[in-house]
Homo-oligomer: A and B are copies of this chain.
């Protein structure tokens, strides 16, 4: 049985397959999304996610097809003219590109691949309506700490702050009184098959979207914030959603709550430390992200002295462990190791042993 350390799609969380089996047993592929049975499933996911993320009542739990979709929806629904993007990798750049594709005036601050942002150096343009932060740049293994994101909101209270937490949720300990919106997809830290995006958005965003719509703005159709929210009030969705995935997400969030989010965070830190400590001592690997504060806890990126493909192939052949290649141009020289809840300390240690024996 392969062990996946790939940064997404990633290893399935150990309980996921049996939750899917139960979903089939319960006929969740056939029930109506306008039934009480579905509303109960949505409500359960909502409750478990609220507990896991300490999400206040001001925020709704909405479902899309992917986190990529949320990039588009959040810009369409909350940016009338200007957005602002902290760009330091391929995914934060895509978020920025989406704003331009939607004909918004997209401001940005750029950092080289492998570098991160601190609040003190960020200057937000006066007319920006939405500040887009990436809690974890999956492409480069750079994180932006929750505390830095909070500082940005404190200094810009009249603007929305959105956090892409695709490859880190529920690791970042976000204070949702200082974060208007956050989103992720289920195939990363939640260890589920892809096909569902999760979008937290607050009432202030809903109000903005409603105002934009009233004043002839185009905020989309079924997945506009007003449409999603109106359905959410009854624990329904505008379209027939990925019912099984919503069920399984609720169950995995329940599993996470049973472990405790603080334990998940501590365990993530411990596993990350083991990986980075290994790389520090290694002759074959080097930590890519130099600034320790910006180093991701959930996606560890290492430079390989002798190319990545040999490392990846050897590890796969020897021990059936699958690790990720570097992203884009760095495919040949870097490896990326996902440090999600689905892999435990023993598996990380086994990987370290293999990497050390190359």
Q: Which residues of A contact B (CB under 8 A)?
A: 2, 4, 6, 8-12, 16-17, 20, 23-24, 27-33, 64-69, 71-72, 97-98, 101-103, 185, 187, 192-196, 216, 218, 220-224, 238-245, 322, 324
What are the 4 closest A-B residue pairs judged by CB atoms, nearest first? A65-B65, A195-B242, A29-B193, A68-B239
User: Can you show 21 pairs from A to B with CB atoms below 8 A apart?
Assistant: A9-B29, A9-B31, A9-B240, A16-B29, A30-B322, A32-B324, A33-B194, A65-B65, A65-B242, A66-B239, A68-B239, A69-B223, A72-B220, A101-B220, A102-B220, A185-B240, A187-B240, A195-B195, A195-B196, A195-B245, A242-B242
8 Å CB contact of A103 from B12, B30, B216, B244? B216
CA distance A12 to B25 in the complex (A): 12
The closest CB in chain B to the CB of A243 belongs to B194
Whether A32 lies near B20 (C-beta < 8 A) is no
Chain B residues in 8 Å Cβ range of A243: 9, 193-195
In whole Å, how far is A246's beta carbon from the nearest beta carbon of chain B?
Answer: 9
Q: Are A65 and B69 in contact (CB under 8 A)?
A: yes
Contact partners of A10 in chain B: CB under 8 A:
30
Inter-chain CA distance A187–B27, complex, in Å, is 12
Q: How near does chain B come to A321, taking the closest CB pair, in angstroms? A: 12
A73 closest partner in B (C-beta): B221
User: How far is A67 from B65 in the complex, measured between Cα atoms in Å?
Assistant: 12
A102 touches B24 (CB 8 A): no
The minimal Cβ–Cβ distance linking A226 to chain B, given in whole angstroms, is: 10
- Report Cα–Cα, A299/B8, bound state, in Å: 40
Q: Which residue of B lies closest to A246 (CB)?
A: B195
A20 to B193: give the CA distance in the assembly, Å.
11
Contacts of A2 in B (CB 8 A): 27, 30
13 new A-B contacts, CB < 8 A, other than A2-B30, A67-B239, are: A9-B30, A10-B30, A17-B24, A20-B20, A32-B324, A65-B69, A66-B241, A69-B239, A71-B222, A101-B218, A102-B220, A195-B242, A218-B218
Q: Which residues of B contact A72 (CB under 8 A)?
A: 220-223
With A103-B218, A242-B242 known as contacts, the answer to whether A29 contacts B187 (CB < 8 A) is: yes
Looking at A27, A67, A193, which has the most chain B CB atoms within 10 Å of its CB? A193
Q: Please name the residue on chain B nearest to A17 by beta carbon.
A: B24
Q: Pick from A11, A69, A322 the residue with the most CB of B within 10 Å.
A: A69
A4 interface neighbour in B9, B27, B216, B238, Cβ under 8 Å: B27
